[in-house]
Amino acid sequence: MIITTKEKLKKAALAAFAQKGYEGATMQEIAEAVGINKASIYNHYKGKEDLFLAVYQDVARKYEKLLKRMIRDSENMEIRDKLLHMFKEYILFYYKDLHISLFWTQCLVFAPPELRENLYVDIVKREEPFEKKMLEILGEGMQQGIIRRDIPTKMLLSYRAMRDGLLLWMRIVPELSGEWIEVFWKDFWLGIQEGKGGGEQQDETRNELKLKGSPDSQPADKGALSLYTATCLICHREFGIPFTDYRYKDIKYNRCAYHVCDDCGKKIQEECQKITGLSPESIDFWERLENRRK
């Protein structure tokens, strides 16, 4: 199959925009990547914005096809399996194509305001059938007593935050390969299940971690512990989690059984900031997107 110059330009532009953003990528480097003069680009595209939007349309169509395929392929699955299938397929799709994944970040966070507004509107429109289906699945799970009753839109935001957060971690932490998807999914699923969070799951969580009681401060209730010693997910070293640390409650109440030490956590935060350009105080994108829908 012969690839046209126009298609070659879009492929080169995708890589440039993904790595450097709209402002950082230049028409000159895109032309050089294809092996043509800069002036020749204008035989195919009106300018940088026109080329950027052409790349966006291709990426958005792939995204839309992915959403439709996930819905179709999971149609006859059980509630839990539907949610897991779409969680896993989404992550693997973007994990395997770094340029498309990074391009989305550039579009949604760093594109010029005059472009970003139109992109938001287009993305929301493309996502409407998928979001509607997801809310139906969550609602059905609540009706059947499988999923605890809550606000479906809030639960969907939690689902997306876990999914997109894990995808980001997998890109910057080599140890987090695809096999970890179901590990993190298990934590999310246990959090939304009806009637879960104690008994059997507490025993399972405690068996996964080494537990130590503080000799200076005995817990008031029989089931409480003053100090946990956990193994860091990244460096695999043991580290203590005192009862004053937020992670202590996460483990005690079975919200999460996997943690990183302070040193690795700092490195991950620095890498996230380096890749996204966002500060820790930046407003979460999905929260802004949800407010825009209201």
- H/E stretch holding 240: strand 238-242
pLDDT value of position 264? 76
Domain count, the chain: 1
185 located within any domain: no
Handedness of CA 60, 287, 263, 267 (dihedral sign): positive
Q: At what angle do helices 48-73 and 79-95 cross, to 10 degrees?
A: 150
**Ramachandran class of 279: left when φ > 0, alpha when ψ lies in -120 to 50, beta otherwise:** beta
User: What is the pTM (predicted TM-score) of this model?
Assistant: 0.66
pLDDT value of position 198? 41
191 located within any domain: no
Task: Round to whole Å and give the CA distance between 241 and 214.
Answer: 11
- The torsion defined by the Cα of 85, 90, 92 and 96, in degrees rounded to 10, comes to 160
156: exposed, middle or buried (Cβ count in 10 Å: 0-12, 13-18, 19+): middle
210 located within any domain: yes
267 located within any domain: yes
233 located within any domain: yes
257 located within any domain: yes
pLDDT value of position 170? 85
Range of the domain at 219: 202-279
Parallel/antiparallel/unpaired status of strands 227-231 and 238-242: antiparallel
Residue stretches of the chain with pLDDT short of 50: 197-225, 246-257, 281-294
Task: Round to whole Å and give the CA distance between 41 and 15.
Answer: 16
Please state, as a whole number, how many other Cβ atoms lie within 10 Å of the Cβ of residue 200: 8
pLDDT value of position 202? 42
Give me the amino acid identity at 77.
M
Q: Count of alpha carbons within 13 Å of 56, Cβ hemisphere only? A: 22
Q: Tokens 């512990």 map to which residue?
A: 225
In the three-class reduction of DSSP (H, G, I as helix; E, B as strand; rest coil), residue 149 is classed as: coil
pLDDT value of position 277? 55
Decide: 291 and 283 in contact? Cβ < 8 Å. Answer: no
61 located within any domain: no
- The torsion defined by the Cα of 114, 160, 234 and 174, in degrees rounded to 10, comes to -60
238 located within any domain: yes
**Ramachandran class of 238: left when φ > 0, alpha when ψ lies in -120 to 50, beta otherwise:** beta
pLDDT value of position 284? 42
pLDDT value of position 182? 87
